[in-house]
Amino acid sequence: MLKLFLLLTAIYMAVPNAAVARVEIVEVNVEGMGLTLGDAILDGLQSAVSMVNGVEVASQSRLEMATVSTETNQAESYTAASAFSKDITTATKGVVDGYDVLSSGRDASLGNNYVVQLAVRISKLKQSKQLNRLRMAVSGLYVDDNVSDRRAADATALAIQNAVVDYLTQTRRFAMIDRNNLADTQTELNYIATSGMATRELARLGNKVGTDYLVVMIMRELNTNIYQKKMKTNNRIKESKQVVGEISVRILDVATSQIKFSDTIVIRSEQDYRTLAKDGGRVIGQTIQNAIYPARIVAIDGDAVTIGQGGKTFVRNEIYELVQLGERMIDPYTKESLGFQEIPVGKIKIERVQSKQSTGRIIEIEVGDVTKLTGYKYIVRPLRSNTTATLEANRKNVKKAKNRIEEMKQSFN
């Protein structure tokens, strides 16, 4: 047991804490000015912290550094010593990792104030690599005043919004920024700023990021439709229910307020509002993704394809359209890119879904030979059912059934 304990202790000491590992040291050169040497150093340190971690962290650090300066009575012999640097590091909980005084002296042209040049080492929180992706936030799904059942609409709107966020997050194409739990995150940051946290925890402050795109949705309609059909065989009335929602979706460029994408999506369910929200949120998420980053094929092996996307964004046995990307097209009027030419070449069926990728099988192909698919860029798009074609197919099936019944009658007679 002792050996096991020592082994675990050694592993724990060897592996850095995840929070500390996310903190890096950044060195900046700054200038500070003040009535005393200590004031000038504190002014430079505050400027350095502000440059690296923002005003919020700099303000908090200034209070801690001022306490050290007051306790030492700002004696020049002490503020110029290395002990003062260590006290500053301790007081700021590691936000100021240390500094070197490059030069110092009084400047007669500046009221005989002290002017110092500092090389300051500041702890900075490493941002997630995911923030290099396109940043996107989904605002609340607003409900139009024309929607009658407000209670059901509010609950359904929240569920749709959550489903859209889930889908877009699991595409792993966007850095999804939360805008609905700001009060909770701010409470945690306030706790970090005021309590006895571990070294360098203050570097977490001042790291909030903005978004590139903002998804704004409005629920225009939410209805429950009841259909009745009289059975010819026994004159009974058969009822069926369908819940229908109409969602207006816009993607806004936050910096310019430009509308980058706009669409109205009708979602339906044969069950209830909860199912409508789940399925509808997925449809809206797919629509947004396909407008920006459609799912790509990353590998083709015979009739098996690997898609660089997984999670809940794909479902086993779903059918998708396989699209070959051709030449880039340019709008003749605006001279802007219209994207790549898209050539439908077949259909695939999803067979396996993992967290980051999915595997499908080609079930229809138009080029004749599957091996000819190599060497091109391919994407997959959701295969939306054609209402007219579906209705026509149903009519043909009904006609076939009637003909079959007539044949059976004649055979019986």
- At 195 the pLDDT is 57
d(CA 179, CA 210): 10
Q: What whole-number percentage of the chain has pLDDT above 70?
A: 76
Domain finish residue from 92, 125, 158? 125
- At 413 the pLDDT is 60
Domain finish residue from 293, 311, 341? 293
Q: Is residue 1 domain-resident? A: no
Q: What is the mean pLDDT of residues 147-166?
A: 92
Burial of 56 (0-12, 13-18, 19+ CB in 10 A): middle
Q: Is residue 393 domain-resident? A: no
Same domain, yes or no, for 259 and 347?
no
Q: What is the pLDDT of residues 10-32, one digit of tens each?
A: 444 444 444 444 677 889 999 99
Question: How sure is the predictor about 297, in pLDDT bands with cuts at 50, 70 and 90?
Answer: very high
Same domain, yes or no, for 280 and 225?
yes
Residue 391 has pLDDT above 50, yes or no: no
Same domain, yes or no, for 193 and 228?
yes
Same domain, yes or no, for 136 and 280?
yes
Helix, strand, coil percent values for the chain (each to nearest 5):
40, 35, 25
Q: Please report, as a single letter, which amino acid is at residue 173.
A: R
What beta strand segments (E) does 126-281 contain? 134-143, 174-176, 213-230, 237-253, 259-269
Q: Is residue 399 domain-resident? A: no
Domain containing residue 342: CATH number? 2.40.10.410
Same domain, yes or no, for 148 and 258?
yes
Same domain, yes or no, for 159 and 171?
yes
| 111 phi and psi angles, rounded to 5 deg | 70, 25
Is 192 or 322 the better-scoring residue by pLDDT?
Answer: 322
- At 185 the pLDDT is 79
Residue 234 has pLDDT above 80, yes or no: no
Domain total for the chain? 3
Same domain, yes or no, for 152 and 256?
yes
Tell which residue, 207, 273, 256, has the closest CA to residue 22: 207
Same domain, yes or no, for 315 and 361?
yes
Same domain, yes or no, for 144 and 287?
yes
Same domain, yes or no, for 116 and 244?
no
Q: Can you give the residue range of the structural domain that contains 36?
A: 23-125
- At 386 the pLDDT is 46
- Lowest pLDDT segment from 36-40, 55-59, 309-313: 55-59
Tell which residue, 203, 210, 209, has the closest CA to residue 19: 203
Question: How sure is the predictor about 385, in pLDDT bands with cuts at 50, 70 and 90?
Answer: low
Same domain, yes or no, for 99 and 156?
no
Residue 352 has pLDDT above 90, yes or no: yes
Question: How sure is the predictor about 196, in pLDDT bands with cuts at 50, 70 and 90?
Answer: low
Domain containing residue 89: CATH number? 3.30.1660
Same domain, yes or no, for 227 and 202?
yes
Q: What is the mean pLDDT of residues 80-105?
A: 75
Is 398 or 156 the better-scoring residue by pLDDT?
Answer: 156
Q: What whole-number percentage of the chain has pLDDT above 90?
A: 33
Residue 306 has pLDDT above 70, yes or no: yes
Average pLDDT, the chain: 80
Domain finish residue from 272, 293, 314? 293
Residue 380 has pLDDT above 60, yes or no: yes
Q: Is residue 369 domain-resident? A: yes
Q: Is residue 391 domain-resident? A: no
